[in-house]
Structure 1
Amino acid sequence: MTTWERTEVSTIAGEREMLEGWLDFHRETLALKCAGLGDEQLRETSVPPSGLSLLGLVRHMAEVERIWFRRVLEGEAAPPLYFSDEDPDGEFHLGSADTFEAAETVWRAEIERARELAASRSLDDTSKEERHGKRFSLRWIYVHMIEEYARHNGHADLLRERIDGATGA
């Protein structure tokens, strides 16, 4: 498991730096929620019938990064990593061979690709692909990603507390 540190977001930054800062803050928060746990703990689910786990959340966020930055923003042909039409929640359905190390590697790669794709664009640039019949500005994608991570970090808080009692971060 790789070590992550959470950076503090500037309180006086410009819009882009602020958006990127908060997105990175939330990415790092999810990583910290997983830190120090073994694969079995990372597979532990919340409460029946939910299959929500920290490992599943990391896989889900790899998919979300991939969809919004590669497919929607850039228009890349980037097929799903973990889900399919037959299993639309596949990222949460873990097989015995699925490990956190593998999921984290994929997640980090998707984050790096997202950063690369966004780096040369204006916040006003719109996506190359439509989703639900609409195009999206990079600004909108950043705000959506912050919302997506913040929501799932709330889930991660509860999962981590259930696993070992750890709170905070």
Structure 2
Amino acid sequence: MTTTQRSEPAQNADERAMLEGWLEYHRQTLAQKCEGLTDAQLRTASVPPSELSLLGLVRHMAEVERGWFRRTLLAEDADPIYYSEEDHDGDFHLTDKDTWEEAYATWQAEIETARRNAAGFALDDLSRNLSRHNGEPFNLRWIYTHMIEEYARHNGHADLIRERIDGATGD
């Protein structure tokens, strides 16, 4: 497993660089929380009866990246990777066949696709798919802000799970 380098965005960056910088920071934070652990440790659930694990969080974030930067932003017909109509939380339901190598590679591929897709939009440009809640499009700024929030929330979970596994703490 490689060592993830993480740095905060410049304090005087423009808006886009700031949003992209904080999103990258949080992506890198989740990767750091998973470093140095075995597959068994990455599968360790937070607290029974919860099935929340670091491996599940990485799979979930692959789905989230795919959902916002492919299905919502571009209206791409991108099927779910881990969940289904029958199992809406399939990203968290691990089997013996699920591995860190596959989940990490899938997550990184979705991140690369997200970067590429977002590069073609200005912050005020609207998504091609509409909100299922109000029928309105999202601008890229909203998507970036939501993704930062999503990662920040789950990184808090990851921090607690990692501390339970081996006592490692940190931001």
What code does the residue aligned with 1:156 have?
A
Superposition map of 1:56-135 within 5 A: 56-132=56-132, 133-135=135-137
Partner of 1:160: 162
Which ranges of 4 or more aligned residues in structure 1 deviate by more than 6 Å? none
What code does the residue aligned with 1:117 have?
N
What code does the residue aligned with 1:109 have?
A
The structure where helix makes up a greater share of residues is: 1
In the TM superposition, what is the alpha-carbon distance from 1:8 to its structure 2 partner?
2.4
TM-score calculated relative to the size of structure 1: 0.98
* Residue-pair matches, total: 169
Aligned-residue RMSD, C-alpha: 0.8
- For structure 1, the residue ranges without an aligned partner over 5 or more in a row are none
Determine what percentage of the aligned residue pairs are the same residue: 66
In the TM superposition, what is the alpha-carbon distance from 1:2 to its structure 2 partner?
3.4
Partner of 1:142: 144
| Distance (whole Å) between structure 2 residues aligned to residue 158 and residue 19 of structure 1 | 25
TM-score calculated relative to the size of structure 2: 0.97
Partner of 1:34: 34
- For structure 2, the residue ranges without an aligned partner over 5 or more in a row are none
2:130 counterpart SS class: coil
| Distance (whole Å) between structure 1 residues aligned to residue 2 and residue 96 of structure 2 | 22
1:30 counterpart SS class: helix
The structure where strand makes up a greater share of residues is: 2
